[in-house]
Each structure stands twice: as structure tokens, then as C-alpha cells.
């Protein structure tokens, strides 16, 4: 059987810099348990590059993935600040408020904000 969904890290983002991110919903085939995760990487030129990396990883674990949208993350580890903003041309804008709630679970001592600004 597939490993527990809780074993999947909620957040995997670069430790520093400004980069694209996507909000992804995992679920068991046929419904049931689901979980939203955040993935962001400076190596990704486009948002779909991130999804193309996450999707096969999650399929191997037995989950279906759906991209809920994207944007950008500005991660300043020195000042412990994260800003979530922007949108994905391909996937549309993620619900940044949801993204912030997920980030807060991991970066508990950070100031985390979001806006609808493009830059």
C-alpha cells in the first residue's frame, strides 16, 4: 500500500532567493485522503517544470497530483522572511493564503506574507 500521506513533505522550496512555486493537491486515486503541498525552485524556468518533477515522484508513491496554481516566492533566510506573490501563466494564480498557511507550519519563526502583486 502507498506510504502515509503524512510522510510527504509539505514544503520543498529553495533556501534562498526568488523563484517560481506551485501549490499541488495530492490525493489517493478514487478520492479520500488529500493534502496540499508547496514546491518551489529557482532551477525551474517555468511552473510546469516543477510539476513535471513532482508528478512522477508522487505517482510512484501512489498519489494523483493536481496543480492548483502557482506564483513566486521570495525567500530571505537571513531576515527570516518569505513573500508569496505573482501567478503562473499556465496554471493560474495559486491561493496564496493557503500557501502561506502551509509555509507557516514549516517556517514557524518566519514572517510570511502574500500579495497579488506581479513583482
Which residues have a catalytic role annotated? 47
**Closest residue by Cα to residue 2 from 34, 37, 48:** 34
Nearest Cα residue to 70 out of 21, 35, 118, 11: 21
105 is in an annotated binding site: no
Q: What sign does the dihedral 105-36-94-23 (CA atoms) show?
A: positive
Instruction: Choose among 95, 36, 103: nearest CA to 74.
Output: 103
Tell me the sheet residues that pair with 11.
38
Phi, psi at residue 52, to the nearest 5°? -65, -20
Q: Which residues are annotated as a binding site for substrate?
A: 20
Amino acid at each position: 500500500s502507498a506510504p502515509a500521506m503524512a510522510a510527504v513533505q509539505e514544503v520543498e522550496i529553495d533556501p534562498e532567493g526568488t523563484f517560481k512555486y506551485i501549490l499541488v493537491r495530492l490525493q489517493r486515486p478514487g478520492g479520500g485522503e488529500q493534502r496540499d503541498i508547496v514546491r518551489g525552485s529557482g532551477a525551474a524556468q517555468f511552473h510546469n517544470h516543477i510539476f513535471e518533477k513532482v508528478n512522477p515522484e508522487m505517482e510512484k508513491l501512489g498519489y494523483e497530483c493536481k496543480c492548483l496554481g502557482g506564483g513566486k516566492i521570495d525567500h530571505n533566510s537571513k531576515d527570516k522572511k518569505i513573500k508569496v506573490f505573482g501567478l503562473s501563466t499556465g496554471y493560474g494564480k495559486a491561493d496564496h493564503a493557503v500557501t502561506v498557511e502551509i509555509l507557516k507550519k514549516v517556517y514557524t519563526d518566519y514572517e510570511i506574507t502574500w500579495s497579488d502583486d506581479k513583482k
